[in-house]
């Protein structure tokens, strides 16, 4: 048994230049460039909730997406978990914005330096017509990064990014039969523009919880609509839990969204 790692998972809808809403140099609020983070981008979380989340569980198995993300040369999609179970984590896009697992598809291409930033690497779908999108990438550099002076990307964090017509999805295929708790929170990590995002947690083809982030906002999953149900989700081996990010009205500009996600056996 292992303790829950305190590692951030990001779902980022940052995008490349046009997607990010990049303007001329010096025109953004985040000018410091890679390696510098502006703490004003997001609002503080509730201290008690933070302490409870960061402490982690003491019993049961714990899956943490960021901790389990396998980087080059050992990248996998689907990926094994930290216990060696195969095909547990899936990095997915979708054919439409509908929540239909039959239309979800694997991100099959790997980018070793997203946006030419060394240390930003991960999976993307090259078939959508949008450069590098959707994607699921991690900051493996060991340092916080600030791509384009807008996107706040902590070390060890995973970002995923949809298109206007394709969801960005992380899937967890249960290796157990039992009850799990889904914990986490969502934070908009690029407050310079855009209209925020919609997030969902689903069990197979059924949405369990959802929420809407305004630009620069943040929300715990437990505070979303249906969030109480995430405290005890009954799963059979082979069931899927999905964390889904929707571009909200098809507007995906500056929608970098951080997700802290843990799945804990009860």
Tens digits of residue pLDDT in 105-139 = 999 999 999 989 999 999 999 999 998 899 999 99
Q: What's the token pair of residue 187?
A: 């934070």
Q: Give the pLDDT confidence of 215-259 residue by residue, as tens digits.
A: 888 889 999 999 999 999 999 999 999 999 999 999 988 887 887
* The model scores a pTM over 0.85: no
Average of per-residue pLDDT across 72-92? 97
Q: Is residue 181 part of a domain?
A: yes
Q: Is residue 2 part of a domain?
A: no
Q: Give the pLDDT confidence of 128-181 residue by residue, as tens digits.
A: 999 889 999 999 999 999 999 899 899 999 888 889 999 999 999 999 999 999
Closest CA to 216 of 190, 254, 238, 234: 190
First-to-last C-alpha distance (Å) of the chain:
13
Q: Give the pLDDT confidence of 247-266 residue by residue, as tens digits.
A: 999 998 888 788 788 999 99
In contact, 90 and 173? CB cutoff 8 Å: yes
Side-chain half-sphere of 98: how many Cα atoms within 13 Å?
7
pLDDT attached to residue 169: 94
Strands 206-213, 218-220: pairing kind? unpaired
Q: Is residue 75 part of a domain?
A: yes
- Residue corresponding to tokens 């779902």: 11
pLDDT attached to residue 187: 83
Residue 196 region, left (φ>0) first, then alpha (ψ -120 to 50), else beta?
Answer: left
pLDDT attached to residue 258: 82
Q: Give the pLDDT confidence of 52-66 residue by residue, as tens digits.
A: 444 444 468 999 999
In contact, 207 and 198? CB cutoff 8 Å: no
Strand partners, 198: 212, 246
Determine if the peptide bond prior to 73 is cis (ω within 30°): yes
How far apart are alpha carbons 31 and 53 in whole angstroms?
31
Q: Is residue 4 part of a domain?
A: no
Residue 174, exposed/middle/buried by CB under 10 A (0-12, 13-18, 19+)? Answer: buried
Q: What's the token pair of residue 79?
A: 């990926």
- Calculate ∠ Cα 235-239-245, nearest 5°: 105
pLDDT band for position 9 (50/70/90)? very low
Strand partners, 91: 170
Tally of domains within the chain: 1
User: What are the C-alpha distances in Å from 44 to residues 54, 149, 168?
Assistant: 15, 21, 26
Range of the domain at 131: 9-265
Q: Is residue 148 part of a domain?
A: yes
pLDDT attached to residue 191: 82
Closest CA to 230 of 200, 208, 251, 213: 208
The answer for residues whose C-beta is within 8 angstroms of residue 221's C-beta and 6 or more apart is 182, 183, 184, 185, 186, 199, 201, 209, 211, 227, 230
pLDDT attached to residue 58: 45
Q: Is residue 1 part of a domain?
A: no
Q: Is residue 113 part of a domain?
A: yes
pLDDT attached to residue 162: 87
Strand partners, 201: 209, 243
223: number of Cβ within 10 Å = 15
């Amino acid at each position: 048994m292992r303790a829950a790692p305190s590692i951030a998972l990001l779902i980022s809808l940052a995008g490349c230049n046009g997607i990010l809403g990049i303007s001329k140099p010096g025109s953004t609020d985040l000018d410091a460039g890679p390696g510098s983070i502006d703490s004003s981008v997001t609002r503080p979380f509730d201290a008690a909730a933070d302490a409870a989340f960061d402490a982690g569980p003491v019993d049961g198995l714990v899956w943490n997406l960021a901790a389990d993300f396998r980087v080059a040369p050992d990248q996998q999609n689907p990926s094994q978990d930290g216990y060696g179970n195969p095909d547990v984590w899936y990095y997915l896009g979708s054919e439409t914005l509908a929540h239909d697992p039959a239309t979800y598809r694997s991100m099959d291409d790997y980018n070793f330096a997203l946006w030419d930033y060394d240390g930003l690497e991960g999976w993307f779908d090259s078939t959508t017509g949008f450069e590098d999108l959707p994607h699921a990438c991690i900051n493996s550099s060991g340092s916080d990064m600030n791509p384009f002076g807008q996107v706040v990307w902590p070390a060890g964090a995973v970002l995923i990014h949809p298109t206007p017509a394709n969801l960005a999805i992380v899937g967890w295929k249960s290796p157990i039969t039992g009850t799990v708790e889904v914990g986490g929170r969502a934070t908009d990590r690029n407050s310079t523009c855009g209209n925020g995002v919609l997030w969902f947690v689903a069990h197979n083809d059924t949405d369990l919880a959802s929420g809407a982030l305004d630009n620069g906002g943040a929300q715990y999953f437990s505070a979303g609509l249906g969030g109480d149900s995430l405290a005890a989700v009954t799963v059979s081996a082979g069931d899927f839990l999905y964390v889904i990010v929707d571009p909200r009205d098809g507007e995906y500009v500056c929608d970098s969204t951080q997700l802290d996600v843990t799945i804990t056996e009860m």
